[in-house]
Amino acid sequence: MNFKLSRLSDYEGIKGPLLLMILDGMGLYRGKKDGYPGNAIDIAAPRTLCRLMENEKIVTRLRAHGTAVGMPSDKDQGNSEVGHNAMGAGRIFEQGAKLVEDAIESGSLFEGKTWKRIISNSLTAKTPVHFIGLISDGNVHSNIAHLISMIGQCDREGVEEVYVHGLLDGRDVPPLSALRYFGELEDYLWSLRAHAAGETGRKRRYLIASGGGRMVTTMDRYEADWSIVERGYNAHVLGIGPKFSDSLTAISALRDREGVDDQYLSHWVIHEPDNPEKPLTQIRDGDGVILFNFRGDRALEISRAFIEDDFKGFRRDHRPDVIYAGMLEYDADTKMPPEYLVAPPAIDHTLSEYLAHNGISQYAISETQKFGHVTYFWNGNNSARFSEKLEKWVEIESDRVPFDRAPEMKADEIASQTIAAMQSEKYKFLRLNFPNGDMVGHTGSLRAAVKAVEAVDRAADRLIEAVDKLGGTVIITADHGNCEQMTAVNEKTGRPVMGAGGGYKPQTSHTLNPVPFIIHGPDTGRYELAGVPDPGLGNIASTILLLLGYEKPEDYLESLINISPPRIRRQSSGPVPCTERGSRQSPLLLNPLQ
């Protein structure tokens, strides 16, 4: 493969380091702004980011959701996985949700060897099929429609027992929406049981067997807290946990008892109707197990718990010999899991690979919660470096405390280590991710999200000062929106929704809002916005190459900027100055291209 990059004829590239600063979850609110109370960025009025929006020449907004990042439709939220894929690949690939949707619609999922093996085993050995995953239509980690399609196919093919081990969302969907999703699933399973019994006399044992909130059960990532996976494993596999008669009773009772959003509700197990001490099922030798989440980061650890012989995450009191499959292959480098239902997108020729082949040194850093995004996802779902000599990855361990209690997270440490890396003069291209806007935004705490924005802004100020001293250039952007829209909005009226007991209803999910794109550096007088139609995150890679003095590969999306002859730098006329406070809107809320 040819990875040779051609030099630009009219621009030799920036002199100092190039820093890409990703403000995770910090988008540009584009709804009705007058009186909107839920924009953490607006309330924080971040001094550094406001200054850049006011004074820089290259300021625009990018699409970070829907088809712009490979999702099925523009009604689908962006997320950190697909956002970093798009930024690092320079092109748009169909992502998990779209791949699965197409495979189900075409029937190819059910014709695949893994699906056929699981169904054949169930029919021959009279063993159950277990489904584990997130029950919602958030389309970030999973979609309940995919699960229902697969359960329906199990019924059509004659599988007698199906058990669902469902995880509550409340993060990519409204925080107290689990009863709706589990109610829909319970109704569907009942209809299959009733139809089988009434029409043909067949017996169907199609039931929800266990569950728990996603942030405390099963769905840990980056080995941040193995106890989360252990809790889920014991509930799903061994039937260990507080027992309830059905999923809706479990959710309602735990909400009353614990007073937390769905994502934090404790794990639970459904018991046999005539024996409150006996779990409805356990996962035993010979069973089929399908993890129906399509996103990889929170699917890897539970997959390893089923697959690895030398597993060390926690003590498994019993490891059943099952046929285990993921919806996708979650890690192409480690081949985890070995069996899966739908092939993931084959993302090749990423920006990092081009830079490594052309001798350009790179540095990537974040804390645990987003470390995989600036490495694995950025590199096209590849967990290995392209060059051990030219690439350095730094992970700062995240604190194991709720993010709304420590909204500053590790922003200061990330800034300090990045500054040291730039000052070493070892790295030409550096990228970092500040997780605060996303991780704190998901808690639903507006007060904490404001503090998160303030922490990121302070860190950004330190980084920009350091870059300026080194004669470098900074790109600031985000992978998707979140903390700019912390209060739910009525889709018809555009007004904030009032919650129970007064106050506004919190929103914990990602948004459909665009994200900022800013360039700050000594050469910006030579840059002009290229006028790319509907620019998105996929255009960033070509822009980085241009700043480094290289032409883009032929199949990459266009650069966001062009190079013009040297001239006197002029101030952007787009954003409203930060000093204009009458509307309580910071420039980050505005579209500079109106």
Task: Write out the DSSP string of 281-309.
Answer: ----TT-EEEE----STTTHHHHHHHH-T
pLDDT of 120 reads 98
Residue 331 lies in a domain: no
Calculated CA dihedral for residues 376, 381, 387, 393, nearest 10 degrees: 0
Parallel/antiparallel/unpaired status of strands 362-367 and 323-326: unpaired
Catalytic site residue 80? yes
Q: What is the pLDDT of residues 267-306, one digit of tens each?
A: 999 999 999 999 999 999 999 999 999 988 899 999 999 9
Angle of helix 144-156 relative to helix 96-106, nearest 10 degrees, comes to 30
pLDDT at 586 over 50: no
Q: Is the pLDDT of residue 561 over 50?
A: yes
Contact indicator for 433, 374 with CB cutoff of 8 Å: yes
Joined together, the tokens standing for residue 8 give 């630009």
Q: What percent of the chain has pLDDT over 70?
A: 94
pTM assigned to the model: 0.78
Q: Determine, yes or no, domain membership for 2.
A: no
Q: 107-117 pLDDT, tens per residue?
A: 999 999 999 99
286 and 238 share one domain: yes
Q: Which candidate, 111, 118, 115, places its Cα nearest to that of 341? A: 115
Q: Is the pLDDT of residue 581 over 50?
A: no
Do residue 68 and residue 110 come from a single domain?
no
Cα–Cα dist 341/472, whole Å: 46
Tens of pLDDT, residue by residue over 526-542, are 999 999 999 999 999 99
| 358 and 242 both lie in a single domain | no
pLDDT band at 72 (very low <50, low <70, confident <90, very high): confident
Q: What is the mean pLDDT of the chain?
A: 92
Q: Does 585 have pLDDT greater than 50?
A: no
pLDDT digits (tens, 9 = 90+) for 11-55: 999 999 999 999 999 999 987 777 799 999 999 999 999 999 999
Q: Which of 272, 296, 326 is the last residue of a domain?
A: 326
- pLDDT 10s digits, 125-154: 999 999 999 999 999 899 999 999 999 999
Statement to judge: residues 358 and 276 lie in one domain: no
Name residues whose C-beta falls within 8 Å of residue 582's C-beta, 6 or more positions apart in sequence: none
Range of the domain at 480: 18-94+347-589
DSSP track, 454-501: HHHHHHHHHHHHHHHHTT-EEEEE-SS--TT--B-B-TTT-PBPB-TT
Measure CA 185 to chain center. Answer: 24
CB-CB contact of 437 with 486 (8 Å): no
**Does residue 399 lie within any of the structural domains?**
yes
Q: Which residues pair with 365 in a beta bridge?
A: 394, 432
- pLDDT-derived band at 500 (thresholds 50, 70, 90) equals confident
Q: Is residue 332 part of a domain?
A: no
Same-domain pairing of 89 and 102: no
**Domain at 218, CATH number:** 3.40.1450.10
Same domain, 74 and 136: no
Q: Using an 8 Å Cβ cutoff, are 373 and 366 in contact?
A: yes
Catalytic residue among 6, 9, 80, 361: 80
How many whole angstroms separate alpha carbon 229 and alpha carbon 233?
6
284/414 same-domain check: no
Does residue 217 sit in the same domain as residue 147?
yes
The reply to whether 338 falls in a domain is no
Interatomic CA distance for residues 52 and 594, integer angstroms = 18
Distance, C-alpha 542 to centroid of its chain? 23
Task: Mark whether 320 and 358 lie in a shared domain.
Answer: no
Q: What is the mean pLDDT of residues 79-99?
A: 93
Question: Phi, psi at residue 391, to the nearest 5°?
Answer: -120, 135
**pLDDT > 50? residue 572:** no
Clarify whether residues 107 and 57 are in a common domain: no
CATH number, domain of 477, equals 3.40.720.10
The count of structural domains within the chain is 2
What DSSP letter does each residue of 161-181 carry, written as one string?
EEEEEEEE--SSS-TT-HHHH
Given a cut of 70, whether residue 589 has pLDDT beyond it is no
**One domain, residues 499 and 355:** yes
Of 326, 356, 371, which marks where a domain is finished?
326
Task: Clarify whether residues 145 and 51 are in a common domain.
Answer: no
- Looking at the domain assignment, is residue 6 inside a domain? no
Give the mean pLDDT of 183-192: 98
